[in-house]
Amino acid sequence: MPLTPAQFPALIAAISATISQHADSITELDQAIGDGDHVFNLQRGIDALQSHCAEIAALDWPAAWQKIGMTVMAAIGGASGSLYATLFIGLHKNTKDKPADLRTFAEALPLAVEAVKQRGKADVGEKTLLDVWVPVAKTLRRSVAEGKDLNAILDAVCAEAEAGVESTRDMLATKGRASFLGERSKGHIDAGAKTAQLMIAAIARQIRS
């Protein structure tokens, strides 16, 4: 596994930095078609994870995913809280008792994303964070199965995440708060898709360096 929970403090710091750096533009997006609290929600989750950093860093991945999921669930109120908690609990369930390697993670991620779909009763094409996570999970699993080297895998995943964000621009929102706007939801990218892409890019930079 290119990353262990011992690197979790650095990872969460990188995620925190990228969200802070883009806070204004993300808030604008969530104000345009949502209620403007997406950055606040994520920052609450990040703060809670930072306060459990040392504990998480001492765990193995399956136990760390469980702790991360439970922490996020308790800390975040918005839709994104229960969806990310579901993602992390899904990673816990699907990495438990398996070898701690990239292949296990690459096979677990699509299953965890599937659980998020069920939780939010949503799928790709509905202008949500799933428009990033679904193609990213597929691309990760495929690139790992093809035996690509780590940097090529990261390049493919990051490109897919960016394409996913852009794909939300002209979509009609049919789930979450943006769906209340109907046709007026078109023309803006989705805040949750954007933060998913930023977090994925931050993790990729961390793995590379």
Q: Nearest distance from residue 81's CB to Mg ion, in Å?
A: 10
Alpha-carbon span 19 to 106, nearest angstrom: 24
192 makes contact with ligand ADP (CB under 6 A): yes
Residues that contact ligand ADP, how many (by CB under 6 A): 22
189 makes contact with ligand ADP (CB under 6 A): no
Reported for 158-162, long-range contacts at CB under 8 A and 24+ positions apart, including other chains, are 158/200, 158/201, 158/204, 160/135, 160/136, 161/132, 161/135, 161/136, 161/196, 161/197, 161/200, 161/201, 162/197
175 makes contact with ligand ADP (CB under 6 A): yes
Q: Kindly identify the residues of this chain, within the stretch 37-66, that bind Mg ion according to CB under 5 A.
A: 37-38
**What sign has the CA pseudo-torsion 40, 28, 109, 17?**
negative
188 makes contact with Mg ion (CB under 5 A): no
Q: Which residues bind Mg ion (CB under 5 A)?
A: 30, 34-35, 37-38, 78
Q: Which residues bind ligand ADP (CB under 6 A)?
A: 30, 34-35, 37-38, 41, 78-80, 83, 120, 122, 128-130, 175-177, 190-193
